């Protein structure tokens, strides 16, 4: 049987560019080469599609500089005529066929990749792709709207308010009065449409609140302010079923942060000693069942398809959803593949199942 051609698309214009490169390294290293022809395509930080080196070490995170996709003279053009063809255009203008794609695996994180924009582009190009569709991606990326959908579906969400840049500039006192209804510090201030804890601050003293808002607004035109909850940080992974039955949900994992105020960018990707990832998390069978039910409901509330990681706080008052990640970190050691590994689906098999879902998707 002929091999299928999988285009692994990574990099992108968001602040999570390098994390996307690391995710691509994981996929490139684990995908079944006997079953798939793999074509890596990078997107520079300026948004240029380029042919990328098929080299795990080139894109993996290390102690050195973060990996970056760079323009080196050639670019990739995606045909918009339904032919599924990708061409390389050299610096001299010479055009050659790179691949005819059977499916695209967009391992892009953050804006311009995980937020529905790339999904819409792939839909227009007639390219099958792995993961969530336009709406689920856009809603999942936006913490304001995803929380509204969760609450409407009966999934408890962290108490929060939304601050828009124009309101912050026009009437700061009114904004602060609304924030006060959350019940005081600690507060978490987050860009509404970013990930990997980029631009996120933990505020323990209101004297630091304005600076936290300004930092968040550097990454988005609105921020979400959440009241800090006392509880355990627990997560589970969701994977659509190949036979069309309800989505599967993994065992739970727990994040325990050591020596840091919260699970920030450095803890996630550069300082492994500052965090313990415990899989499976210690909880009762009833707690696990409830968490899995809530995760599935949250996934369905967005019209999710393919994959998601759902993050909760387990408090004395029960579970509160923190957020959903529609393209979670996907390196071999990331929480999402690790959760499925503990549930019985290995990394390479997980990649294969996601590709098969992408080929047959009816989003």
CB 85 within 8 A of CB 97: yes
- CATH code assigned at 95: 3.40.50.20
- Gap between the Cα atoms of 199 and 204, Å rounded: 16
User: Is there a single domain that holds both residue 274 and residue 354?
Assistant: yes
User: Is there a single domain that holds both residue 345 and residue 255?
Assistant: yes
Residue 359 parent element (H or E): helix 347-359
User: Is there a single domain that holds both residue 219 and residue 275?
Assistant: no
- Gap between the Cα atoms of 150 and 156, Å rounded: 7
How is residue 212 annotated by DSSP? H
User: Is there a single domain that holds both residue 175 and residue 265?
Assistant: no
Non-local (6+) Cβ contacts of 351 within 8 A are 27, 30, 31, 32, 105
Which pLDDT value is given to residue 261? 54
Q: Is residue 134 part of a domain?
A: no
pLDDT tens digits along 324-362: 999 998 888 899 999 999 999 999 999 999 999 999 987
How is residue 66 annotated by DSSP? P
User: Is there a single domain that holds both residue 265 and residue 219?
Assistant: no
Check pLDDT > 90 for residue 12.
Answer: yes
User: Is there a single domain that holds both residue 67 and residue 118?
Assistant: yes
Domain count, the chain: 3
Q: Domain boundary at 186, 211, 227, which? A: 227
Structure tokens at 299: 């996934």
- CATH code assigned at 194: 3.30.1490.20
pLDDT tens digits along 243-299: 989 999 999 999 998 665 555 454 444 445 667 899 999 999 999 999 999 999 999
| Domain interval for residue 190 | 160-227
Which pLDDT value is given to residue 271? 45
User: Is there a single domain that holds both residue 237 and residue 313?
Assistant: yes
User: Is there a single domain that holds both residue 10 and residue 120?
Assistant: yes
Neighbours of 199 (CB within 10 A): 20
CB 16 within 8 A of CB 219: no
pLDDT tens digits along 145-204: 999 999 999 999 999 999 999 999 999 999 999 999 999 899 999 999 876 577 899 999
How is residue 208 annotated by DSSP? G
Which pLDDT value is given to residue 273? 63
Report helix, strand or coil for 143: helix
How is residue 272 annotated by DSSP? G
pLDDT tens digits along 70-111: 999 999 999 999 999 999 999 999 999 999 999 999 999 988
CB 226 within 8 A of CB 232: no
Which pLDDT value is given to residue 267? 44
CB 228 within 8 A of CB 204: no
User: Is there a single domain that holds both residue 251 and residue 281?
Assistant: yes
Q: What are phi and psi of 277, to 5 degrees?
A: -105, 115
Which pLDDT value is given to residue 56? 96
- Tell me which of 35-39, 271-275, 300-304, 314-318 is least confident: 271-275
Report helix, strand or coil for 72: coil
Which pLDDT value is given to residue 62? 86
Which pLDDT value is given to residue 258? 66
* Longest CA–CA separation in the chain, Å: 66
User: Is there a single domain that holds both residue 148 and residue 297?
Assistant: yes
pLDDT tens digits along 104-157: 999 999 889 999 999 999 999 999 999 999 999 999 999 999 999 999 999 999
């Amino acid at each position: 049987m002929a091999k299928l051609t999988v285009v692994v698309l990574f990099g992108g214009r968001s602040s999570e560019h390098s994390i996307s490169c690391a995710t691509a390294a994981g996929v490139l290293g684990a995908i079944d080469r006997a079953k798939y022809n793999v074509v890596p395509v990078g997107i520079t930080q300026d948004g240029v599609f380029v042919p990328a080196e098929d080299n795990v070490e080139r894109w993996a995170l290390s102690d050195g500089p973060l990996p970056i996709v760079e323009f080196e003279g050639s670019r990739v053009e995606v045909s918009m005529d339904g032919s599924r063809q990708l061409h390389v255009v050299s610096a001299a203008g010479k055009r050659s066929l790179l691949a005819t794609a059977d499916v695209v695996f967009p391992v892009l994180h953050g804006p311009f990749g995980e937020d529905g924009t790339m999904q819409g582009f792939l839909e227009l190009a007639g390219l099958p792709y792995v993961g969530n569709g336009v709406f689920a991606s856009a809603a999942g990326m936006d913490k304001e709207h995803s929380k509204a959908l969760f609450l409407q579906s009966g999934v408890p969400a962290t108490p929060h308010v939304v601050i828009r840049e124009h309101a912050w500039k026009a009437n700061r006192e009114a904004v602060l009065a609304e924030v006060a209804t959350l019940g005081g510090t600690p507060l978490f201030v987050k860009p509404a449409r970013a990930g990997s804890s980029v631009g996120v601050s933990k505020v323990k003293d209101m004297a630091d609140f304005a600076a936290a808002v300004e930092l968040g607004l550097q990454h988005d035109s609105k921020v979400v302010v959440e009241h800090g909850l006392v509880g355990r940080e627990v997560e589970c992974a969701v994977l659509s079923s190949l036979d069309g039955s309800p989505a599967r949900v993994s065992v739970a994992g727990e994040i325990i942060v050591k020596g840091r105020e919260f699970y920030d960018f450095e803890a996630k990707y550069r300082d492994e000693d500052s965090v313990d990832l415990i899989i499976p998390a210690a909880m009762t069978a009833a707690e696990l069942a409830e968490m899995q039910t809530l995760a599935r409901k949250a996934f369905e509330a967005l019209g999710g398809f393919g994959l998601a990681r759902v993050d909760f706080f387990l408090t004395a008052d029960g579970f509160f959803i923190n957020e959903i990640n529609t393209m979670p970190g996907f390196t071999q050691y990331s929480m999402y593949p690790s959760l499925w590994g503990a549930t019985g689906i290995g990394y390479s098999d997980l990649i294969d199942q996601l590709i098969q879902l992408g080929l047959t998707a009816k989003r």
